[in-house]
Structures are given as C-alpha cells and as structure tokens.
C-alpha cells in the first residue's frame, strides 16, 4: 500500500509517513503507535512558526487519512486515522495561533504608524475629524489614536479657538507647552 503516491512531502516526512504502511498491512498496532509518535513529534515540533510547514503536513495527513478511510478494513487503520486526525487538529491549533500572532503584530504596526501620523498632524490644535481628513483615515481611527496619545500624555486637550464648541480640540503636548 503506497500511502504517499503523488505527494509532495519533504524526504523526512515522506519517510516517516511511508513507515506506516508496514504496520498497517501487518495489523501491528504497537508498531503503528511508535511510528505515529515519531510523526507527531516531527510534525508538531517543526511547525510552530512556519505556516507553509503546517499546511504541508496537514495536506499530507489528510491525504493519508482519506486513502486509509477508503481502504479501512482493519482496526489498526482506524487507530491510525484517529491519531492522524488528532495530529491534524493540533496542527490546526498551531496554525490559528500563528495567524493570530501575525495579525496582532500587523495591527500593532498599523496602529503605531497611524499614531505617528496623528501626532505629526497635531502640531497645531485640531479636532479628531480634521485630523482624519488631513491624514486620510477613518474618523474613528483618528479618535482612537488621539485617545491612546492622550493616555501616554503626548497629546493634550486644548481650548477651542474662537467660539468653536463642536468638539474637543487636541494638540501635541510639547508644542502646547512651548506656546504657553
């Protein structure tokens, strides 16, 4: 039984997955367990920070599971399918964590860039809507960036010029201190 016919795994993964054929054909659950332990260790340890590795392992595991399910005639194949689905599930969890970390990093970079642009635009007093228009972002993003900058005391609330009372006005703290 060639479980890996037509697969694209790297040689070490191909060798590991290929080692399952013998125990399955001979009905040797203990030997299959040992091979699956090795597969699990290699797949899960090598995939933590590489989405391509996770995807490749999940694809190969899925292929082997589908081939075994189609030819499932003994309990060892059922056991192997269950273990492989467990490994696939854990790889899915790793992939979710990896993608979550990447999204959080991207959001942090974007927020940092937006805060810098808002801070630069607050060299003179302005309302959040004015800042959003100047730097070309959504008003809610400008407001959030201003709140974050106020929390770090880089931006302060200043009196509205003239009789404009529509909203709060803000300015960089260092510029406002120089003007006072």
57 located within any domain: yes
How far is residue 103's CA from residue 109's CA, in Å, rounded to a whole number?
10
Please indicate, yes or no, whether residues 28 and 86 belong to a single structural domain of this protein: yes
In a domain, 108, yes or no: no
Q: What total number of domains does the chain contain?
A: 2
Residue 171 lies in domain:
122-179
126 within domain boundaries: yes
What is the pTM for the complete model shown?
A: 0.59
Distances 174 to 35, 41, 113, 114, 120 between C-alpha atoms, Å: 65, 55, 19, 19, 11
pLDDT digits (tens, 9 = 90+) for 116-159: 999 999 998 999 999 999 999 899 999 999 999 999 999 999 98
């Amino acid at each position: 039984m060639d479980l890996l016919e037509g697969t694209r795994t790297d040689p070490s993964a191909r060798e590991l997955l290929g080692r399952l054929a013998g125990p399955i054909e001979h009905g040797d659950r203990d030997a299959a367990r040992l091979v699956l332990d090795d597969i699990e260790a290699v797949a899960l340890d090598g995939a933590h920070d590489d989405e391509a590795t996770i995807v490749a392992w999940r694809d190969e595991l899925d292929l082997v599971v589908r081939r075994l399910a189609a030819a499932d005639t003994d309990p060892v194949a059922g056991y192997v399918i269950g273990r492989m689905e467990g490994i696939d599930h854990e790889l899915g969890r790793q992939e979710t964590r990896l993608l979550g970390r990447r999204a959080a990093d991207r959001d942090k970079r974007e927020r940092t860039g937006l805060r810098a642009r808002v801070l630069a635009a607050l060299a003179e007093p302005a309302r959040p809507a004015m800042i959003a228009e100047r730097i070309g972002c959504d008003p809610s993003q400008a407001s959030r960036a201003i709140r974050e900058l106020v929390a770090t005391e880089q931006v302060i609330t200043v009196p509205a010029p003239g009789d404009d009372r529509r909203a709060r006005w803000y300015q960089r703290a260092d510029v406002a201190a120089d003007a006072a």
